[in-house]
């Protein structure tokens, strides 16, 4: 069985995400045997479907969707430690918009992305189609 078939046999599509169905390890992340060792499943997904990751250069693969078991290539991006920490500090919203002062709406203590509010309002009023 080729590696892609072995990989996708451990994936189930749920609400637009590719959820890893094999038992998770390492802090809730999926694991997959690749190139003679266990690797995080989302990293293997990125390598198989997007392209190489240069770990010696400090590259890491980040979950844009913030779902640890998701291995969908569109939910993953290659970044470095600084970029990953920016997401953790919520310098970007869930859709990837920068949480800059001109793009933040304060809802009580919560910082809310103005661009996402506009997208939601436009969908609710039929100005753009729902996806």
Report the DSSP pairing between strands 76-79 and 60-63: antiparallel
Tokens matching residue 80: 């470095």
The total number of structural domains in the chain stands at 2
DSSP 8-state code for residue 74 = G
Residues 68 and 103 in one domain: no
| Gap between the Cα atoms of 88 and 91, Å rounded | 7
Longest distance between any two alpha carbons in the chain, whole Å: 54
Report the distance separating Cα 80 and Cα 33, nearest Å: 23
Domain containing 12: what range?
Answer: 3-89
Residues 69 and 114 in one domain: no
- Whole-angstrom Cα distance, residue 9 to residue 104? 41
Say if residue 85 is in the same domain as residue 112: no
Q: Is residue 45 within a helix (H) or strand (E), and if so which, with residue range? A: helix 41-49
67 and 26 within one domain: yes
Quick one: 96 and 106 in the same domain? yes
Q: Are residues 122 and 58 in the same domain?
A: no
Can you give the pLDDT at residue 95? 77
Does 105 share its domain with 61?
no
Residues 28 and 71 grouped into a single domain? yes
| Cα separation values, 82 from 115, 126, 129, Å | 24, 38, 35
pLDDT by residue, tens only, the chain of 131 residues:
899 999 999 999 988 899 999 988 868 899 999 999 999 999 999 999 999 998 888 899 988 887 889 999 999 999 887 777 666 667 777 777 888 888 888 777 677 889 988 888 888 887 776 65
């Amino acid at each position: 069985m080729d590696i892609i078939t072995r990989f996708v046999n451990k994936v189930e599509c749920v609400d637009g995400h590719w959820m890893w169905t094999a038992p998770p390890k390492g802090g809730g992340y999926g694991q997959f045997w690749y190139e003679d060792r266990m690797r995080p499943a989302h990293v293997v997904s990125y390598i198989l479907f997007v392209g190489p990751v240069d770990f010696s250069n400090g590259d890491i693969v980040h979950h844009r969707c913030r779902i640890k078991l998701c291995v969908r290539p569109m939910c993953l991006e290659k970044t470095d430690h600084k970029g990953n920490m920016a997401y953790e500090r919520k310098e970007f919203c869930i859709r990837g918009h920068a949480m800059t002062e001109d793009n933040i709406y304060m809802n009580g203590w919560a910082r809310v992305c103005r661009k996402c509010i506009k997208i939601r309002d436009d969908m609710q009023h039929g100005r753009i189609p729902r996806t």
